Chain A
Amino acid sequence: TAGITQAPTSQILAAGRSMTLRCTQDMRHNAMYWYRQDLGLGLRLIHYSNTAGTTGKGEVPDGYSVSRANTDDFPLTLASAVPSQTSVYFCASSEDRGGTDTQYFGPGTRLTVL
């Protein structure tokens, strides 16, 4: 199985433009997450979804929105990009938010906002 896929692999975006980062998992996991990873900082949770149809805010949600129309897909949208959103974005999924709840990560999207 593919696990988790993300698209695009990398992107350069002009400030003020909008963009959607795509994430798809084929493991039928209930929970999905979006993180950003910046040099010298730990992974920071942007948004999460416990199950299809529900979403929640993480540690750094401002400037981002998500939707969870079905189990497999969890897109992340930047409505109006700013340079501080330059980062590596990882999508992850887990069976559930509890128990051993191992999170599996996609390969990441490297986004540069100019």
Chain B
Amino acid sequence: GQNIDQPTEMTATEGAIVQINCTYQTSGFNGLFWYQQHAGEAPTFLSYNVLDGLEEKGRFSSFLSRSKGYSYLLLKELQMKDSASYLCAVRNSNYQLIWGAGTKLIIKP
């Protein structure tokens, strides 16, 4: 089967750094996506990795290791507005997105 594993919930402090991990087992690989979803809202695109390495975009960075089936999303200088769920999704060989259940990130002052 295909599955994406992420921690269910994480807690971090405002101003700190947090790393959200994602491991995957899919039938083929054609890219990995991270989305942010605030409660009651739609998911919004954060990042895309298709090659190994780190992609940096402002306070957010995403890392990919295809050989390990592993990615992480790094959030720096956490702000209260970063409280949300973070969804990891992998596009398989059929170009279908397989989604993880999401990691709920709670930011405390």
- How many A residues face the partner with a CB closer than 8 A? 21
Q: Which of A58, A90, A102 contacts B96 (CB 8 A)?
A: A58
Instruction: State which residues 86-105 of A face B: CB under 8 Å.
Output: 90, 97-98, 100-105
Q: Which of B41, B48, B99 contacts A43 (CB 8 A)?
A: B99
Interface of A is mostly: loop
Instruction: State which residues 57-114 of A face B: CB under 8 Å.
Output: 58-59, 90, 97-98, 100-108
- A40 close to chain B: CB less than 8 A: yes
Do B44 and A43 touch across chains, with their CB atoms under 8 A apart? no
* Least distance between A25 CB and chain B CB atoms (Å): 13
Q: A45-B96, A102-B48 are in contact. Are A107 and B41 (CB under 8 A)?
A: yes
Q: A45-B96, A58-B96 are in contact. Are A108 and B42 (CB under 8 A)?
A: yes
* Least distance between B69 CB and chain A CB atoms (Å): 16
Q: Give the docked Cα–Cα distance between A102 and B44 (Å).
A: 9
Q: Give the docked Cα–Cα distance between A58 and B43 (Å).
A: 19
A48: B residues at CB distance < 8 A: 96
Do B31 and A100 touch across chains, with their CB atoms under 8 A apart? yes
Mind listing 21 A-B residue pairs with CB under 8 Å? A40-B101, A41-B101, A42-B4, A43-B87, A43-B89, A43-B97, A44-B99, A45-B96, A58-B96, A59-B96, A90-B43, A97-B95, A98-B95, A100-B48, A101-B31, A101-B91, A102-B33, A103-B33, A103-B97, A105-B44, A107-B41
